[in-house]
Amino acid sequence: MAIVLRTELKFEAPFLRKAAEIPAEDVDYREFVFRLALAICGERDGAEDVAQDVLLTLFKHRAKLRCVDNPQAWVRRVTVRCATRYLKRAHKTEPLDFNQQSREPASQLVDVYDVLRLLTPEQRAILGMALHQGLSYREISEALNIPEGTVASRLSAAKAAFQKRWEA
């Protein structure tokens, strides 16, 4: 099989411009995958690595992608799993320590991504899907393969952890 590089893609991420040509049903997911990975990882380099892994997975399992009822939900699930696996491997999280004194004076703005990096990969994933991607509880439950009630409780816990860290 010959691999043809596409140079006409106009995405911001450089690796997407160099991505090998893949079937048309996968091409539509490149930007979607990258944006979701960026929302979960909180950094461009990590999002590029995750998106690359996801696109390879899509290519390897393209037959399955054609057969699923909701391909976008399947792609979302693969992206979330790859992103959380990446964060765990990269040791990008720190345990939350609510007794720690504030790192900065109250007058300084705290970067949202700095706070997100302190959350667990699972908390970052669910916040990214709910707040950044605007997904419903049903869509998140399909992506994570958990009940909607669990989505609600995990999202509530993630929001509370974020808020406590933000106010610290």
Query: 71-90 and 30-41 are packed helices; what angle lies between their axes, rounded to 10 degrees?
Result: 40
Which residues fall within 8 angstroms of residue 38, CB to CB, at 6 or more apart?
Answer: 44, 47
Q: What is the spatial distance between Cα 53 and Cα 101, in angstroms, rounded to a whole number?
A: 38
pTM: 0.62
pLDDT in tens, 101-138: 444 443 344 577 788 888 898 898 899 888 888 889 99
Q: What is the spatial distance between Cα 125 and Cα 81, in angstroms, rounded to a whole number?
A: 9
116-139 CB burial, b ≥16 within 10 A, e <16: bbbbbbbbbbbbbbbeebebebeb
pLDDT in tens, 60-90: 988 887 888 888 888 888 999 999 889 888 7
